[in-house]
């Protein structure tokens, strides 16, 4: 009976770990970045006219009859010193103009180490994405992602369903090996949308982020998005989030270490009871 109860406890803890840890932070005041998109100064536009800064916002225009990556970027060297400890607030006004069928692959926000296309070049990067399952309508979702140098883009295992047209507030937090995304309907983040927040472990070395990028990575002209991004503020992260114990590499029985995004944690750490988990 004791073993059975312990298995139930272990299962409950595994399920609990699937939920992100709580986090409370004040609104970012823009200590590192305070981008109001009121001017094109400093911005490089490589979107073939499908993105622009106008009327005080960064605009992704729905028209998508141009193939290839479309993006805009700006150099913000002050980000670099806080690459591993920062949080960012911004909001997006979604018009409902999204092609639900052909897998949008847009980054609403990317922080990268250089000005190259962040998904395909040798470029450390953190992303806030809007994606969907290819050719499956109704699967739009917000996800986190990161890339280490020339390595592959790593998407978060969890996602937040896209609720439809409206204004949503985003908060992304990077602390050590943790990466979290909150999406809410209010700037105080008291009304989170269903599925929020999510988190993932950034297990690779992400360094020297100093560019802000917005854009789309795809060669399919059918992949379209209509959204206005505004009021991007980035601040140093010091405290306020209870991320818990989050080793990125865990030792297996033979002493080897492997990356994982689904570790088992037992709280508190048992000292006198044997835990048996078998399949």
The pLDDT value given to residue 236: 95
In tens, the pLDDT along 69-102 reads 789 999 999 999 999 899 999 999 988 655 544 5
Above pLDDT 90, what percent of the chain?
Answer: 47
Measured distance CA(68)–CA(48) in Å, rounded: 10
The pLDDT value given to residue 2: 43
What is the phi-psi region of residue 228: left when phi exceeds 0, alpha when psi lies from -120 to 50, beta otherwise?
Answer: beta
Above pLDDT 70, what percent of the chain?
Answer: 68
Check pLDDT > 50 for residue 171.
Answer: yes
Q: Using the Cα atoms of residue 197, residue 201, residue 207 and residue 212 in order, give the sign of their dihedral.
A: negative
In tens, the pLDDT along 227-259 reads 899 999 999 998 777 655 455 544 333 333 334
In tens, the pLDDT along 191-224 reads 999 999 998 888 778 889 999 999 987 655 566 6
SS3 content of the chain, % helix, strand, coil (to 5): 10, 40, 55
The pLDDT value given to residue 19: 42
Q: Among 67-71, 78-82, 170-174, 272-276, whose mean pLDDT is lowest?
A: 272-276
In DSSP notation, 68-135 reads S-EEEEEE-GGGGGGTTEEEEEEEEEEEEEE-SSS---EEEEEEESSSS-TTTSS--EEEEEEE--TT
Read off the pTM.
0.80
How far from 33 is each of 143, 171, 257, CA to CA, in Å? 22, 14, 37
The pLDDT value given to residue 3: 44
The pLDDT value given to residue 6: 40
Q: Phi, psi (5° rounding) for residue 77? A: -60, -25
Q: Which residue has the higher pLDDT, 165 or 275?
A: 165
Find tokens 């990575």 and name the residue. 217
Q: What is the DSSP letter of 190?
A: -
Q: Which residue has the higher pLDDT, 62 or 161?
A: 161
In tens, the pLDDT along 31-52 reads 999 999 999 999 999 988 889 9
Measured distance CA(202)–CA(243) in Å, rounded: 13
The pLDDT value given to residue 7: 38
């Amino acid at each position: 009976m004791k073993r059975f109860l312990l298995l139930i406890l272990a299962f409950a803890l595994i399920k609990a770990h699937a939920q992100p840890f709580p986090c409370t932070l004040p609104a970012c005041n823009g200590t590192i970045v305070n981008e109001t998109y009121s001017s094109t100064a400093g911005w490089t536009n490589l979107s073939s006219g499908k993105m622009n800064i106008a009327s005080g916002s960064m605009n992704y225009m729905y028209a998508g009859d141009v193939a290839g990556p479309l993006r805009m970027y700006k150099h913000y060297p002050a980000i670099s010193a806080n690459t591993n400890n920062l949080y960012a607030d911004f909001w997006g006004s979604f018009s409902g103009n999204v092609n639900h069928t052909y897998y949008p692959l847009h980054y609403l926000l990317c922080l990268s180490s250089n000005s190259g296309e962040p998904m395909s070049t040798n470029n450390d990067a953190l992303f806030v994405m809007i994606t969907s399952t290819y050719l499956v309508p109704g699967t739009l979702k917000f996800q986190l992602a990161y890339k280490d140098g020339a390595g592959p883009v790593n998407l978060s295992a969890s996602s937040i369903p896209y609720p439809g047209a409206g204004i949503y507030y985003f908060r992304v937090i990077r602390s050590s090996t943790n990466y979290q995304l909150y999406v809410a309907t209010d700037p105080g983040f008291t009304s989170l949308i269903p599925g929020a927040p999510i988190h993932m472990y950034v297990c690779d070395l992400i360094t020297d982020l100093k560019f802000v990028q917005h854009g789309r990575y795809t060669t399919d002209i059918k992949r379209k998005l209509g959204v206005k991004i505004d009021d991007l503020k980035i601040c140093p992260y010091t405290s306020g989030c209870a991320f818990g114990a989050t080793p990125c590499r865990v030792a297996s029985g033979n002493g080897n270490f492997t990356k994982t995004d689904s570790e088992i944690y037992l709280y508190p750490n048992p000292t006198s009871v044997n835990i048996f988990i078998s399949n």
